[in-house]
Amino acid sequence: MASTSSTTLSITSSSSLVDAKAPRQLAAASPQCVTLPTLPPPPVQTQNRPWKTTAYCRKLARNVMAMATGEALATGEAPTELATTEPPEIVKSIQQAWDKVEDKYAVSSLAVAGVVALWGSTGMISAIDRLPLIPGALELVGIGYTGWFAYKNIIFKPDREAFVAKVKATFNDIIGSSS
């Protein structure tokens, strides 16, 4: 049985169902009753909020529709001219290159495979980085290779000119132009 009052709600139950951790009120209830406090009333400010949110969403939807159809905005404002900005040059060149691609499925598959390979390699590198001594040894190998590469290709002028010519030739082979 349940009895309600203005301050508490008492639920009677058998002694096997009474929670031993719940505080008992000895004055008003029997040892087999659990007394629950009443919840405070909800704040007054939140009662008006759903209406305001709904009105705002409707107003926003009207403004979106008005902008799409070119009508005046629902706020009563004068319609502002939408700024037509052109995409940057790099975006245009990417769009032109994408339009020239014949097998878009293969290029998309290669891009996804590249992202997966990059993700996998970062996981592998982070696992290697956690091992003791390996990061220090790899750093020494990198410093040694950088020194050897600089000595072989950059320090002396004839080697540097040959290296620059080789880089330009490789770049032109990849791009496909002969400039």
In whole angstroms, what is the distance from residue 42 CA to residue 157 CA? Answer: 81
For residue 92, give the amino acid letter: K
Q: Which residue has the higher pLDDT, 67 or 104?
A: 104
Of 20, 31, 25, the C-alpha closest to 7 is 25
Alpha helices (H) along the chain? 45-69, 89-100, 104-130, 134-153, 157-175
For residue 101, give the amino acid letter: V
Q: What is the pLDDT of residues 82-106, one digit of tens each?
A: 556 788 889 888 899 899 989 999 9
Of 99, 97, 88, the C-alpha closest to 176 is 97
State how far the alpha carbon of 85 is from the alpha carbons of 65, 81, 82, 88, 89, in Å: 21, 12, 9, 9, 12
Instruction: Tell me what the mean pLDDT of segment 105-114 comes to.
Output: 94
For residue 80, give the amino acid letter: T
| pLDDT range class, residue 16, cuts 50, 70, 90 | very low
pLDDT at position 165 is 95
The answer to whether residue 167 scores a pLDDT higher than 90 is yes
For residue 104, give the amino acid letter: K
Q: How much is the pTM? A: 0.34
The answer to whether residue 67 scores a pLDDT higher than 90 is no
In whole angstroms, what is the distance from residue 166 CA to residue 69 CA? Answer: 56
The answer to whether residue 174 scores a pLDDT higher than 80 is yes
**pLDDT > 90: what percent of the chain?**
32
Q: Which residue has the higher pLDDT, 154 or 23?
A: 154
Instruction: Tell me what the mean pLDDT of segment 115-143 comes to.
Output: 92
